[in-house]
Chains A and B, each alone.
Chain A
Amino acid sequence: AAGVIQSPRHLIKEKRETATLKCYPIPRHDTVYWYQQGPGQDPQFLISFYEKMQSDKGSIPDRFSAQQFSDYHSELNMSSLELGDSALYFCASSPPSLISNLQETQYFGPGTRLLVL
Chain B
Amino acid sequence: TQLLEQSPQFLSIQEGENLTVYCNSSSVFSSLQWYRQEPGEGPVLLVTVVTGGEVKKLKRLTFQFGDARKDSSLHITAAQPGDTGLYLCAGARDSGYALNFGKGTSLLVTP
Contact flags B59-80 to A (C-beta < 8 A → 1, else 0): 0000000000000000000000
In the complex the two chains form, is A90's CB within 8 Å of B45's CB? no
Q: How many A-B residue pairs have CB under 8 A?
A: 71
Tell me whether A105 is interfacial, beta carbon within 8 Å. yes
Are the CB atoms of B95 and A88 closer together than 8 Å? Answer: no
Q: Which of A58-109 contact B (CB under 8 A)?
A: 58, 88, 90, 92, 94, 97, 102-109
Find out whether the CB atom of B96 lies under 8 angstroms from the CB atom of A106. Answer: no
Pairwise interchain contact A110-B95, C-beta atoms closer than 8 A: no
| B42 on the A face (CB < 8 A) | yes
With A50-B96, A106-B33 known as contacts, the answer to whether A42 contacts B42 (CB < 8 A) is: no
Chain A residues touching B, majority SS: strand
Verify A56–B97 contact, CB threshold 8 A: yes
Contact of A58 among B41, B94, B98 (CB under 8 A): B98
Q: Does B55 contact A (CB under 8 A)?
A: no
Are the CB atoms of A105 and B103 closer together than 8 Å? no
19 example contacts (A-B, Cβ-Cβ < 8 A) are as follows A31-B95, A42-B88, A42-B104, A44-B101, A48-B96, A48-B97, A48-B98, A50-B95, A56-B97, A92-B99, A102-B50, A104-B33, A104-B48, A105-B31, A105-B33, A105-B48, A106-B92, A111-B41, A113-B40
